[in-house]
């Protein structure tokens, strides 16, 4: 017996089918959406905040916002990028309340890497943990763009949409983030 679209298990349903179901109050659809995207969203939030517990709180706020706002989803973006955009706003709002004195550092966005190839050479010489430690030291906007493009797998256009900036700025930030990361890796690949 084959189930029709309305009878399909939530785990088998497409994201774009789950959102309207959530808008109608279908808790199983919310659970399915959470199971699909929570890991990716949480990873991105941890990258932004550096605090796993705080990121879990923001994830819960995000899913509550998805539950409440599912009826307003217009389908102009992927469901994943929509959820990440909500998470990003939740994170920004929570961080403002948590520490209002923080100022974003935009120092390296106008200094993209000019030499080809050092990324590959340097990254070949260090462990993944050393790279993660150095990513944590990058400016928040650099960590975020790296996380969105490489961590969540969003395209440059989707990343631009989530960050509410032009695609060219995403490219510039990505280039600057990579250059800053390479500069922070020791020349001989030591992971001190």
| Three-class HEC string of 57-72 | HHHHHHHHHHHHHHHH
pLDDT of residue 181: 83
pLDDT given at position 188:
46
Instruction: Convert the pLDDT of each residue in 73-113 to its tens digit.
Output: 988 888 999 999 999 999 988 888 875 444 455 544 444 55
What is d(CA 172, CA 79) in angstroms, rounded to the nearest whole number? 26
Burial annotation 60-71 (CB, 10 A radius, 16+ → b, else e): ebbbeebbeebe
**0.75 exceeded by the pTM?**
no
pLDDT tens readout for residues 172-183: 999 998 888 888
Q: Which two tokens stand for residue 113?
A: 């890497």
């Amino acid at each position: 017996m084959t189930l029709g679209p309305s009878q399909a298990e939530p785990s088998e349903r497409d994201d774009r089918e789950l959102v309207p179901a959530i808008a109608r109050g279908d808790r199983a659809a919310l659970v399915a959406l959470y199971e699909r995207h929570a890991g990716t969203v949480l990873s991105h939030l941890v990258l932004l905040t550096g605090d796993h517990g705080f990121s879990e709180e923001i994830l819960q706020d995000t899913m509550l916002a998805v539950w409440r706002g599912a009826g307003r989803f217009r389908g102009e973006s992927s469901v994943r990028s929509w959820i990440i955009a909500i998470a990003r706003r939740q994170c920004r709002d929570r961080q403002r309340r948590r520490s209002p004195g923080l100022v974003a550092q935009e120092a390296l966005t106008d200094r993209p890497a000019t030499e080809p190839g050092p990324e590959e050479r340097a990254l070949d010489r260090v462990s993944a943990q050393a790279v993660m430690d150095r990513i944590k030291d990058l400016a928040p906007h650099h960590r975020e763009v790296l996380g969105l493009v490489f961590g969540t797998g969003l395209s440059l256009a989707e990343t631009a949409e989530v960050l509410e900036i032009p695609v060219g700025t995403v490219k510039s930030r990505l280039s600057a983030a990579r250059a800053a990361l390479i500069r922070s890796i020791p020349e001989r690949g030591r992971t001190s």
